[in-house]
Amino acid sequence: LREHNFNMINIWYPGVRPRMKIVDKKLQLDFEQIDHWMKLAAKHDMGPLVWFIGGDPHVYPRTLSIERQLFIALHEGEKPYKELYNRFTYLAGLKENRGRTLKEVEPYYRQWISRVWKHAKANNWPELIFTPFDEPAVWSRPPREPTPGKYPPILGGGPYVKDHFKFACKLIHESAPGVRIYGSIHHNRLKPRAPGWGSHEGEVFIPDVEVFCTNVIYEDPNLGDKVRAAGKQYWQYKGCGGVDRPDKGRFGFGFFFNAFNSRGSLIWAYDWGPGFDTTTGSNWMIAWRTPFDVIPSPFMEAMREAWDDRRYVETLKAVAKRNKADISAFLAKLGADAKAMRSARAENLPAIEKMRQRVAAKILQLQKP
């Protein structure tokens, strides 16, 4: 990963977590396995790590991974695992419980965050950036009651998703002072999609997070400025596929994201797919892992170049600052050209290389005596 300019990883609670038990109302955490993994991540300069401790809000309240597992641990032995799983989903979906952590789970949620955060700092883990769950902007959908007779009930999008995300952000901040929270924002419509829908559904979370990451700058071109005005960090993300055009990926993560001055970027995903058979499924993957090596796709090779394109621009900024040179007009034109290229679907390799050459030439120009 580092050879291809990847220096951060998204980790998800179902697959990466300390072992956990609740015995006599006391939370027990076993860090042995995860300590080993975190040491490897730190050794290879991976970090920060964005830790999704919840999942897909389109299936709220099944979304609530960590809260559900704490509930199951609290009631372990009372009923089979699947029954406890469904019982939590049922309780979390009741009107009186929507939009917040179950009261019996909340103290353990706070303990888990506090103890994991302190353990991470004491043991030199990469920085942990938590997020309660993915894409909370689905709150803008009109709420609906679950299908009668279906158990456990699944609500999906609705205002309770927003309330729950904000509740969890407050809980995390209080439990781990100094921690950063990440928001994965997939919509910020300036007008409602239809009657009954919300709008500006992404920016309502700016006060709750330190890192605001979006894939919908086209819905609100000023979104990055809004995030920066609040003193928060603006990132961008984009989906992919091993069969997608590599030059499209390079352009998107390179000069296009640069046009909005995002300070980090996320690709969905590294290896979310069925392995070597890419004839079916979503195939959100750019590499294939084997017991012997990682086989990169052309898209992954292009990602290395994308982040090198960003490095060229950052080098230019550093040289300009050192030489007290004003490059604002140059950067504005570079950004405007990138936006125009995307609008015209003209993001091809020769055009991208010309943009890099422009930046390189400007660096050399500023260094001439």
Q: What value does the mean pLDDT of the chain take?
A: 94
Instruction: Give 147's pLDDT tier (boundaries 50, 70, 90).
Output: confident
pLDDT attached to residue 244: 67
Domain range annotation of the chain: 2-239
CATH topology of domain 2-239: TIM Barrel (3.20.20)
> What contacts 24+ positions apart, CB below 8 Å, involve 313-321?
313/255, 313/258, 313/359, 315/363, 316/359, 316/362, 316/363, 316/366, 319/363, 319/366, 319/367, 320/366
Residue 275 has pLDDT above 80, yes or no: no
Q: What percent of the chain has pLDDT over 70?
A: 98
How large is the average pLDDT for residues 164-179?
99
- For 44-65, write each residue's pLDDT tens digit: 999 899 999 999 999 999 999 9
Angle formed at CA 125 by CA 123 and CA 131, multiple of 5 degrees: 125
Which of 4-8, 28-32, 175-179, 231-235 has the lowest average pLDDT?
4-8
pLDDT attached to residue 2: 87
For residue 181, list its beta bridge partners. Answer: 130
Instruction: Give 144's pLDDT tier (boundaries 50, 70, 90).
Output: confident
Residue 181 has pLDDT above 80, yes or no: yes
pLDDT attached to residue 274: 74
Residue partners of 244: CB distance under 8 A and separation at least 6: 299
How large is the average pLDDT for residues 310-327?
98
Residue partners of 283: CB distance under 8 A and separation at least 6: 241, 242, 243, 273, 274
- For 217-247, write each residue's pLDDT tens digit: 999 999 999 999 999 999 999 987 555 689 9
Residue 290 has pLDDT above 90, yes or no: no
